[in-house]
Amino acid sequence: MTEEMKKRPRYNRWYKVPLPECISGDGSGYHFYISKGHSRNLIIFFAGGGVVWNSFTAAHPTGAAGVLAGDPGFYWANLRPFTEFMNINQGITENRGSINWFYDWNMAVITYSTGDFHLGRNRLSYDKDDPEKIMYFNGYNNYSTAIEEIKRIFPEPVNLLIAGDSAGGFGAAALAEDIMSRYDPERSRITLCSDSSLLPWDGWKTVMRDLWNTVPEIYEKIKTENPVADWFESVYKKYGGAVRLLYACSRKDEVLASYWNSVRGNDYGADPDIREEFEQELRKMVYGLMEMIPGICFYINDYKFVPDMPGGIIKTGTVHTCIRNPLFFTGKTDGINMHEWLKDMVNGECYSVGMSILSEKRAFQI
């Protein structure tokens, strides 16, 4: 932690917290972010940034040049300056003004640069011709070190929101029980929210066990092709209604559909058939969770996908994540944006948004 943060932290300012003992996927340094608010509430946010499931994907990280060229790669392998805008002052992590109801909460962003859903404890030499090319699956070690520091700085929040988007939504769901072993649900009102975290595949348990070396108590909870649903069910069985469970996603998520196509052995990318299949899987997940978990709430949208960077190709799918981008405030479904919905959820209200999107054909909303 910086000396300023130790001695006299300024409110509503982001601090980079280096963890010298931790590393990113390419072996470079690692840090996470903290912002101190005036409230006694806390957001622990797990950042996203792709996933690695074999040597080929390990050999294809993304970067600024690739994004600009329309070639996303499969994961972020480091935390160089280009990635900072992805982690702070975006959507729910906006702490510079009252547009965000959460702006004065204490916030901790657990950054992500290891391609392992924040769950790895391993390394992979992925190029047989160059043994020095190593992928470090260090997500779990990074998380474990960061959460100890977070607990020390913010020991007993009144409200605790555990959230994540994309790969971070997987991490939030997988690690929620570990966080709740540190933050007692009887002392803190806890909400868990995963945004855009759906990649149904029967290989995840094997990848976590054999490639990432995930701790057994995490991967042993996986019973189906859908790890997030399995982890949500585990949280509910252990804590019942003491934890509010939330899930958000767009109807034909362009990025998730593209990854899903690739993880099944095809080229990265989505076509109308893949997008339609993804929507069917989302419908299956939502209604399955409703059967398993009374009181679970959803935010489903069909906002049209627009490239983040110049040079990208306009697709016909829907957006990937809302919680940490302007759509958190500007996108509306059933007249409600995700910001309003999430505020209501942590305040104890219970309702879902956009459920009709999964039951009938609708035009895109901008």
CATH number assigned to the domain comprising residue 47: 3.40.50
Rg value, the chain, Cα: 19
Size of the chain in residues: 366
Residue 161 lies inside a defined structural domain of this protein:
yes
- Contact status, residue 318 vs residue 310, Cβ threshold 8 Å: no
The pLDDT value given to residue 95: 86
Please give the Cα distance from 44 to 190 (Å, whole number): 11
**Token pair listed for 42:** 């806390």
Q: Which residue has the tokens 């935390």?
A: 79
Neighbour tally for 294: CB within 10 Å: 10
Neighbour tally for 274: CB within 10 Å: 19
Q: With bands split at pLDDT 50, 70 and 90, how would you rate the model's confidence at 363?
A: very low
Element (H, E) at 292: helix 272-292
Average pLDDT, the chain: 91
Residue 66 lies inside a defined structural domain of this protein:
yes
What's the start-to-end Cα distance of the chain, in Å? 41
CA 287: distance to chain centroid? 21
- Shortest CA distance to 285 belongs to which of 212, 224, 352? 224
pLDDT at residue 364 is higher than 70: no
Q: What is the DSSP letter of 169?
A: H
Residue 325 lies inside a defined structural domain of this protein:
no
**Token pair listed for 271:** 């076509």
Please name the residues in contact with 10: beta carbons below 8 A apart, sequence gap of 6 or more. Answer: 4, 36
Q: With bands split at pLDDT 50, 70 and 90, how would you rate the model's confidence at 34?
A: very high
Residue 111 lies inside a defined structural domain of this protein:
yes
The pLDDT value given to residue 312: 45
Q: With bands split at pLDDT 50, 70 and 90, how would you rate the model's confidence at 310?
A: very low
> What's the rounded mean pLDDT across residues 347-358?
95
Pairing between strand 243-250 and 42-46? unpaired
Residue 331 lies inside a defined structural domain of this protein:
no
Number of domains in the chain: 1
pTM of the full structure = 0.93
Helix, strand, coil share of the chain (percent; to 5): 35, 20, 45
- Shortest CA distance to 61 belongs to which of 138, 133, 168? 133
- % residues pLDDT > 70 (the chain): 90
Print the domain residue range for 88: 3-249+291-298
Express each pLDDT in 212-264 by its tens digit: 999 999 999 999 999 999 999 999 999 999 999 999 999 999 999 999 999 99
Please give the Cα distance from 23 to 137 (Å, whole number): 9
Q: Which whole-number Å values give the CA distances from 245 to 228, 230, 231, 233, 364, in the listed order?
A: 12, 13, 11, 10, 27
Residue 305 lies inside a defined structural domain of this protein:
no
> What's the rounded mean pLDDT across residues 88-116?
93
Residue 365 lies inside a defined structural domain of this protein:
no
Q: With bands split at pLDDT 50, 70 and 90, how would you rate the model's confidence at 80?
A: confident
The pLDDT value given to residue 270: 94
Residue 61 lies inside a defined structural domain of this protein:
yes
